[in-house]
Amino acid sequence: MVGALALKPWEPLGWSWSAASPVPFRMREVRKASRGRLLLRLVAGLGLLGALALAGGFFAFVTTIERAERPAIGRTDAIVVLTGGAQRIGDAIDLLANGNGRRLLISGVNERTSREEIARLNPNQQHWIDCCIDLDYRARNTIGNAIETRRWMRRHGFTSIAVVTSNYHMPRTLVELHHALDEGETVVPYPVVSDGFDISRWWADPAAARLVGAEYVKFLVAWLRTQVESDPEQSHFAVLVGRRKPVKIVAERLMRETN
């Protein structure tokens, strides 16, 4: 036909694509952009899920913190109190005096704090301080407290303890103790509620919110660490978080004593 476009039999009419023909530049760019948006959405979705999980875990953590001190606990072989507040030691000595345990370990005592200083701060408990209280000067953090508690329990043949510490510190303390102790060794928590610290209104008190938030992060780190470490005495993390005297030195001294 005159004036018509002559096509060869193998040439398609208009645009076509086959596996052998290259993808047009614009289409390749569109596909790259689509993959980029999909990846961003995936990362954002995972980030959102992670944030929700952390937030949910935080609120669950807050609900586990005791609001009020327990009036009494069941009798145990012994009592351990972790230093960090004067009220903790007084409450622990009261438990000892009331017959809730045969002996008391005060773990993490400052090197400059003597038995006489503790007696001065608790003048009505001199008898118990003289006869039934042991002082641990070596622990420098909660991991060290757990190590010292285990050694003290086994040295005296104790299989059950009441542990005294602040209410917000108790969840992390239990994680460390359960990791250090054997299955047959029992831990009974006795949380101390500090004066002026109202956990039920943490959201209205910036100082309380910071305290609980920091403790939640430490709790998560402790829980994750105990999932991969077999023994707290071999913990490399303990060295990193040690203060004043390195925990590594303390742990080495303890291991030599038992060899």
pLDDT at 108: 92
CA 190 to chain centre: 18
Please answer whether residues 164 and 193 qualify as being in contact, where contact means their C-beta atoms are separated by less than 8 angstroms.
Answer: no
Q: Which of 174, 199, 180, 162 is nearest to 88 (CA)?
A: 162
pLDDT at 214: 92
The domain defined by 78-258 folds into Rossmann fold (3.40.50)
pLDDT at 258: 34
**pTM across the whole model:** 0.73
Please answer whether residues 254 and 151 qualify as being in contact, where contact means their C-beta atoms are separated by less than 8 angstroms.
Answer: yes
Dihedral sign from CA coordinates of 89, 95, 96, 97: positive
pLDDT at 162: 95
Flag residues of the chain having pLDDT under 70: 1-26, 28, 30, 33, 71-72, 85-86, 238-259
DSSP H or E segment with residue 55: helix 25-64
pLDDT at 201: 80
Paired tokens of 143: 């991991």
pLDDT at 186: 94
